[in-house]
Amino acid sequence: MHRSASRLPRILACAAVPVMLVVAGCSSDSGSKKESDASSSSAPGAKKSVAAVAPAKFAELPDPCKAISTKTITSLVPKAKSKSGSPATSSDTSARAGCSWNGLDDNGVKGSQYRWLDVGFTRFDSDQALGSGAKRAEDDLTKQLAKTRTAEGAKKIAEAPVSGIGEQATKVTYDLNKTGEDFKYATIVARTGNAVVTLTYNGAGYAGAKTPSGADILKDAEKAAKEAVAAVADANAAADDKQSSPSASPSKSAKSSKSSN
């Protein structure tokens, strides 16, 4: 576990890399009815009745680097290189966005503690062909969990549902050895409406420092995940307020016009 201080920058450069990152048919005893039905269905302009999918709950995603409070970032990632975080590359931040933080708390001869936190958001619109946004989000949650379970080199993988985080959430914990050190990992995958939040938090002790407790890593991950999920609703509430607020009321405009005369 002991490492010289001169090797830490090179080691941490490796440690910072995330381990991932509905046809209707009818039958009849009458041949004439079949012919009638066929004639009717093939007539020009005939339309099939298709049930409409439920509209998507959320139209926006939060700024991923502001979805978790500065206070929480300071607590979970001491000595973070950037408390404002590093945004993930995205061609459409209203559909997919993410942010990460990492830092080394150097305690000299007592060793150092490394922490890494990553949060990702994915939003799904309702589509007549693909299904409702909520259903599509449920499917994506399943896919995200499958990816987490198959993390290369992961050991002691444990999975269980989590209450109090979105409409549904699952936690996955595991151990992983990287750069010669033992890391503790916790990933929370949650769904709120038509959005999926995937949050991963991990840590390790360097230069002789004690490996963090898996229970502590999970507890902190759940705390951050709750904030991230709440940020989705907050972002959409803010967008709704902005759209419903007029730039100036008629009475104010009238008064302004009168005073200018």
**pLDDT tens for residues 109-143?**
889 999 999 999 999 999 999 999 999 999 999 99
pLDDT tens figures, 160-195? 999 999 999 999 999 999 988 999 999 999 999 999
pLDDT band at 241 (very low <50, low <70, confident <90, very high): confident
pLDDT of residue 2: 46
260 Cβ contact list (under 8 Å, min separation 6): none
pLDDT higher than 80, residue 203: yes
**Pairwise CA distance, residues 43 & 39, whole Å:** 6
- Of the chain, the percentage scoring pLDDT greater than 70 comes to 74
With beta carbons less than 8 A apart as the criterion, state whether 135 and 205 touch.
no
Amino acid 197 reads: V
Which candidate, 116, 113, 88, 91, places its Cα nearest to that of 19?
116
According to DSSP, the residues that pair with 178 across neighbouring strands are 181
Token representation of residue 124: 């799904």
pLDDT of residue 239: 76
Which candidate, 237, 241, 231, places its Cα nearest to that of 98?
231
According to DSSP, the residues that pair with 113 across neighbouring strands are 105, 205
